Amino acid sequence: MLTQKQKDLLTLLDTRIKAVGVPPSYDEMKDALGLASKSGIHRLITALEERGFIRRLPNKARAIEILKVPSDLEGPTSSPVPQAANDSVAIPLVGKIAAGVPIEAIQQDGNVFKIPQTMIGRGDHFALEVEGDSMTGAGILDGDVVVIRKANTARNNDIVVALVDREEATLKRLNKTSHGIELIAENPAYPTRTFGPDRVEVQGILVGLVRRYH
C-alpha cells in the first residue's frame, strides 16, 4: 500500500518520463508535491524503490525507470498531474543551442515545433536543438530538442539558457556564488566557467526534452 504522496510522486514520474523521456528534477518534484525540502523527495523515491515500483539507474544523473504502476493511480484519489494525451501545441523553434562551447546567440527563425500539451505549464515557451555533448550527464544529448520556459531569473541548480556577453548562448546548469555566476557542464570533459553577474543573462529554464530516433 502506497501513501498518497508516494502515489502522487509515482504518477508525476510516470507522466513526465512518458512525455519527455526523462524524469523531473528534484526541485520540480518538490514543488509539484508541495514539499518544503528535497529530503522529502529522497525519502519518497527510496520508499518507491524499496517497494519495487521504480529503479534508480547507476552512474546516470536523474535516471529513474518505472517498473510498475498500480491501477488505482487512475482513480479519483490519484495525483492531479495531467496525463499524456494526443493534444499537441506548437511553440517557436528558434535555432540551435550549444551544450558545449557557446555558439552565436539564438535567433528567431519562424519555425515551430509541436510538443504534447502536457509538457508545458504556464508562461511562454520555445524550443531549441541541442548541439554538443557537455550536458550528457543530465540526459541531454547532441541533436535533442529542449523545451524552454522563458524566464530572466533562475534558482541554483536549474538548467538554463544563458546568454554570455549578449552574444553567446549556451545550455548549462546555473550556480550563483559570491564570486559570480557559474555555468556548469554535466560532462567532466568540460570545465565550469565563471562569469561576473553583469555578463550572464538568463533567457529561460529547461522544462522538457524531445528525442528523435532515426
Torsion, Cα 173 176 177 180, to 10 degrees, reads 100
Question: What single DSSP character describes residue 108?
Answer: -
| Residue 119 shares a structural domain with residue 27 | no
Round to whole Å and give the CA distance between 186 and 108.
Answer: 27
- Do residues 100 and 183 share a domain? yes
Question: Is residue 178 domain-resident?
Answer: yes
Domain that holds residue 197: 88-210
98: Cα separation from own chain's centroid = 16
161 within domain boundaries: yes
Percent of the chain scoring above 90 in pLDDT: 32
* CATH number assigned to the domain comprising residue 44: 1.10.10.10
User: Higher-confidence residue: 83 or 98?
Assistant: 98
Q: Which of 39-53, 102-116, 127-141, 177-191 has the lowest mean pLDDT?
A: 102-116
State what percent of residues in the chain have pLDDT above 70: 83
Could you write out the DSSP letters of every residue in 170-191? Answer: EEEEEEEETTEEEEE-SSTTS-
What are the DSSP calls for 12-78, one per residue?
A: HHHHHHHHHSSPPPHHHHHHHHT-SSHHHHHHHHHHHHHTTSEEEPTTSTT-EEE----GGGGSTTS
How do residues 128-170 score in pLDDT, each as one tens digit?
999 999 999 999 999 999 999 999 999 999 999 999 988 888 9
Q: What pLDDT shows up at residue 60?
A: 61
What CA–CA distance (Å, rounded) separates 48 from 51? 5
List the catalytic residue out of 68, 78, 172, 176: 172
pLDDT-based confidence at 181, cuts 50/70/90? Answer: very high
pLDDT: which is higher, 181 or 90: 181
Q: pLDDT averaged over the chain?
A: 82
pLDDT at 110 (0 to 100):
61
Do 62 and 140 fall within a single domain? no
Same-domain status, 97 and 179: yes
Alpha carbon distance 76, 91 (integer Å): 32
Which of 16, 40, 72 is the C-terminal boundary of a domain? 72
Are both 57 and 118 inside the same structural domain?
A: no
What is the Cα–Cα distance from 189 to 100, expressed in whole angstroms? 10
Q: What whole-number distance in Å separates Cα of residue 41 and Cα of residue 43?
A: 5
Catalytic annotation on 88? no
Find the mean pLDDT for residues 101-121.
Answer: 72
Q: What is the pLDDT of residues 65-93, one digit of tens each?
A: 888 887 655 443 333 333 444 567 888 88
Whether 182 is covered by a domain: the verdict is: yes
82 in any annotated domain: no
Specify the pLDDT at position 51. Answer: 85
pTM for the model = 0.59
Same domain, 95 and 200: yes
Residue type, 182: E
Catalytic member of 134, 150, 176, 178: 134
Q: The domain spanning residue 193 has which CATH number?
A: 2.10.109.10
| Total tally of structural domains belonging to the chain | 2
DSSP state at residue 175? E
Does residue 100 sit in the same domain as residue 37? no
Q: Is 172 a catalytic residue?
A: yes
78 part of a folded domain: no
